[in-house]
Amino acid sequence: MRITKKKLLKWGSNLISFVLFFGLVAMATIVITTKASGGEPELFGYQFKTVLSGSMEPDIQTGSVIAVETGGDTTRFQEGDVITFMEEDSKLVTHRVTEVLNNGEHIMYQTKGDNNNAADVNPVFAENVIAEYTGFTIPYLGYLVSFAQTQNGAFLLLIPGVLLLGYAVITIWQGLRELERHQKALHDNKEDKQIAT
């Protein structure tokens, strides 16, 4: 089977279209679910958080997007679990549980970032735990997500859409031109046969 230049160009064109379309849909989904949920994108019961610090490296790289599972009993966590919790200043942090503390009234967790030298200063009350890290991470996507959530980033989401629209117009125009050539060839062939008879 011989691959012609035309087939190779068509295959490349289809691949670029798929990547652009998938990228557009993915980014639009992230932005829409972020706006709908009031801040964090959610899909199939998992929230996606952007990691902005290197405290959990090397397991979770700075700029990664991680999947966390919300809900459930927040007193269930054990040493070694990675949890996302709300600090007193309403900042979300994802760190590893190093010790479970029970003072009789409250369950608290001593936490530490894997890349930090010391444990976090304040233990985390179980009520402040938002979610548990699932182990799913996509490195560097967080930079793109953070940018897409800005006004300039949302505007730049239009670029793949415009490119896809332009590509669709060109493809339709080429298809119509090809159809026109084919019909002209059929018409010319029909006239040649009529002249011959």
- Which residues are designated catalytic? 53
Intra-chain end-to-end CA distance of the chain, in Å: 40
Q: Identify residue 121 by its one-letter amino acid code.
A: V
| CB proximity list for 178: less than 8 A, separation 6 or greater | none
Q: Give, in order, the Cα–Cα distances in Å from 124 to each of 102, 115, 128.
A: 11, 19, 7
Cβ-contact 132, 84 below 8 angstroms: yes
Task: Answer for the pair 61, 140: CB distance below 8 angstroms, yes or no.
Answer: yes
